[in-house]
Structure 1
Amino acid sequence: MKRLSFMLLVLLFVLVMPEHGHAASGNNKIFLDGKEITAGQSVPVENVNGTVMVPLRMIAENLGYKVDWNQTSKLVTIVQGDTTIKLTVGQNSASVNDKTVTLTQAPILRSDTSLVPIRFISEQFGLQVAWDNTAKTVTITTPQPPSGGDSSQTGGTSGGSGTTTPGDTSTGNLTMVNGISFNNNVLMIALDGSAEPKLSVLNNPSRIVVDIPNANFSDAFGSGQTLDPAKYGTLDATGYPDVKEIRYSLYSSSPYTVRFVIQLNDKKDFGYSVTNDTGSKLAIVDLNATGGLASVNAGTSTDPTNTAPLPGSGGKKVIVLDAGHGAKDSGAIGITGKYEKNFNLAVVLKAAELLKKENNIDVVLTRSDDTFLELSERVAIANNLNADLFISVHANSSSTSVASGTETYYKRDESKAFAKVMHKYLVQATGLNDRGVQYGNFHVIRETKMPAILLEVGYLSNKKDESLLFTEALQQRVAEAIVSGVKEYLGL
């Protein structure tokens, strides 16, 4: 439950359009550097599950790429310079110079024409891509040299120059930004690669800038967070009075740089710390320090060794709450169509609010909104923070509608006692059948390094269970049960 030389310019693109899974209107157009290309456009652009799919040969050949189609194996091979991409119709994985890459949507056939995710092609061959949903137009642009400075979409009003670290301009060794979350004034960035974040503090307005050099957004990021055609997005910071806005973008593509900006409200004693653990693939910016911001000159890099510690300081116990599934991964679907991911998040948010009231506990969420994280990223959050306890919240499902009740799972022996304590309170809270404490080989409770349990609160495949699980009263009781179980196990 843990966790970017240059041929042209890269731009990630996933945009939800009307009529998901159906072809867009047949009058859509594709422009390359301002010129409409029509040769080979016998099949229209489509949106399939939120992924824009375009006729491959039409675009590739207009760009001068070599395209080969194997009818027998349904294999598409694209060659451009020293890059070779292989995609197979119906398969969600592709090969880029013999390295496996996951696609958001498998290539499909339409009238003997292969449609592929334009996002994937743009990423691998460095194209700036935009979709105009009103005009049904795809615009493809080859790159222009970036102008730099702090006037980018994530820079705001200039008050000093940001830090952009030159790096490798090839696409083969980029660090991938897989996901972000913001909770308890802590920004967590899941990375896959060796790049080290570079921090700057800028004034007018006050903001902390985090640059990830040699980096790009991954497919997983676009599936879980908002990212517009300009590779720009924002993260919800509602409820955090010190933070006005969090935004992010592909700040530069020569060299590749992903930028995060935490724009602050006027608070003179604001401070922060930053840690980066390449082993657990997690960068953490903690905004809970006092002092430091006002004394830093605009545009200067900061020294994180003189700032505040991560959650768990002062002897507090760190509890990581994990709402299972999220975003594109709905989890189980209930008998009336309700999504497990929504139940999981509702319970976790309620439990977090209760735990925040405990003076000797710090609570961290793997996700606080409808975000997708890989299992390894969820694990990394807990392990990187050296958490004391890890709790993953789920709802169950069965092929039979008769199955009903509450279960608590553990994997490692050190977690069994915690599971027993928690299960006692959980069964009392739900009033459902007691299905006991059980052994389970689940990734998030197997790979975490602290006592870790997984709660299956009830069965969404059971009409009675589902109806109960989606009531505020039951969710609140489960949240209170989690708090009681944590306190009893820790002796608090």
Structure 2
Amino acid sequence: MIRLACIVLAALALPAVPAASQTLRFSTVVIDAGHGGKDGGSVWNGLIEKRLCLDVAKRVEAGLKSRGLKTVMTRRTDTFVELDQRARIANRVPSSVFVSIHFNGSRKTIISGGETYYRSPRGKILASAISRSIKSKVPGGSRGIFDADYKVLRETQMPAVLVECGYISNKREAARCADPAHRQKLADAIVSGLLAVRAR
């Protein structure tokens, strides 16, 4: 019993994981507004995904610039950009992270909430921070983070995430996403998540 108590006390005395291991060094955020042009993405409840993506992406850009970070957009207008081209744009930017912005849709229209996807360990750090921020700041919250092999995550060389901001197939969530004030909350949450893991 005494030996067990000593083991427990020793375990409690172990040093915590350094906070630095959960931070990332970057000066630029590559913001990827999903879909565009001939690719409208999901279309539900009178909403077209590509338009929502671009709107939130521009709001994220404004939020980051106001806090002194540099940004690069993969598209600024309703144009079609191939997935490999999006990755090439990102890979040309030094000291950067990559955030691809999307909205979800499902035949199971009861599903709602944001989702954040990653592929690499450093991407997971970024995904966790953004998911936590969305969960705490945005109505509808977050369904969590998920490992995925999306092309824009696979072909980018920096920490990268894909954020699904909500299910526009869910009528209640679609109504929220149609509101510019809600889209601003989404953008603010993404910005807060990025800043939370940025090494100073």
Superposition TM-score tier, normalisation by shorter sequence: 0.7 to 0.9
Report the equivalent of 2:100: 392
Q: Distance in 1 between matches of 2:59 and 2:141?
A: 23
Report the equivalent of 1:376: 84
Q: Tell me whether 1:432 sits opposite 2:140 in the alignment.
A: yes
Equivalent residue for 2:159, pick from 445, 451, 476: 451
Q: Distance in 2 between matches of 1:429 and 1:369?
A: 28
Report the equivalent of 1:491: 199
Give the superposition deviation at 1:434: 3.0
Question: 1:91-490 alignment to 2 at 5 Å?
Answer: 317-334=27-44, 336-359=45-68, 361-490=69-198
Question: 1:15-164 alignment to 2 at 5 Å?
Answer: none
SS of the residue aligned with 2:146?
strand
Closer/same/farther in 2, CA of residues 397 and 456 from structure 1, 3 Å limit: same
Which gives a bigger RCO, structure 1 or 2 (Cα 8 Å, sep 6+)?
2
Decide which structure has greater strand share: 1
The answer on whether the counterparts of 1:429 and 1:474 sit within 8 Å (CA) in structure 2 is no
Give the superposition deviation at 1:316: 7.2
Closer/same/farther in 2, CA of residues 463 and 317 from structure 1, 3 Å limit: same
Give the superposition deviation at 1:358: 2.2
Q: Distance in 1 between matches of 2:193 and 2:36?
A: 25
Give the superposition deviation at 1:354: 1.4
Amino acid at match of 1:356: K
Amino acid at match of 1:424: R
- The structure having more radius of gyration, on CA atoms, is 1
Q: Distance in 2 between matches of 1:390 and 1:316?
A: 10
Give the superposition deviation at 1:432: 1.0
Give the superposition deviation at 1:433: 4.7
Give the superposition deviation at 1:466: 0.8
| Cα deviations by residue, 1:123-160 (Å, 9 ceiling, x for unpaired) | xxxxxxxxxxxxxxxxxxxxxxxxxxxxxxxxxxxxxx
RMSD: 1.5
Give the superposition deviation at 1:476: 0.7
Q: Distance in 1 between matches of 2:74 and 2:107?
A: 29
Q: Distance in 2 between matches of 1:396 and 1:344?
A: 11
Identity of aligned residues (%): 37
The answer on whether the counterparts of 2:31 and 2:74 sit within 8 Å (CA) in structure 1 is yes
SS of the residue aligned with 1:454?
strand
SS of the residue aligned with 1:437?
strand
SS of the residue aligned with 1:356?
helix
Amino acid at match of 2:47: K
Q: Distance in 2 between matches of 1:429 and 1:376?
A: 32
| Cα deviations by residue, 1:194-238 (Å, 9 ceiling, x for unpaired) | xxxxxxxxxxxxxxxxxxxxxxxxxxxxxxxxxxxxxxxxxxxxx
Unaligned runs of at least 5 residues, structure 2: 1-24
SS of the residue aligned with 2:70?
strand
Amino acid at match of 2:55: A
Report the equivalent of 1:61: none
Q: Distance in 2 between matches of 1:442 and 1:380?
A: 15
The answer on whether the counterparts of 2:54 and 2:76 sit within 8 Å (CA) in structure 1 is yes
The answer on whether the counterparts of 2:122 and 2:159 sit within 8 Å (CA) in structure 1 is yes
| Cα deviations by residue, 1:53-91 (Å, 9 ceiling, x for unpaired) | xxxxxxxxxxxxxxxxxxxxxxxxxxxxxxxxxxxxxxx
Give the 4+ runs in structure 1 shifted more than 3 A.
none
Give the superposition deviation at 1:374: 0.1
Amino acid at match of 2:78: D
Q: Distance in 2 between matches of 1:328 and 1:410?
A: 26
Unaligned runs of at least 5 residues, structure 1: 1-314
Q: Distance in 1 between matches of 2:57 and 2:124?
A: 21
Report the equivalent of 2:4: none
SS of the residue aligned with 2:99?
strand
Amino acid at match of 2:66: K
Decide which structure has greater helix share: 2
Give the superposition deviation at 1:473: 1.0
Report the equivalent of 1:235: none
TM-score normalised by L of structure 2: 0.84
SS of the residue aligned with 1:327?
coil
Closer/same/farther in 2, CA of residues 316 and 418 from structure 1, 3 Å limit: closer
Give the superposition deviation at 1:424: 0.6
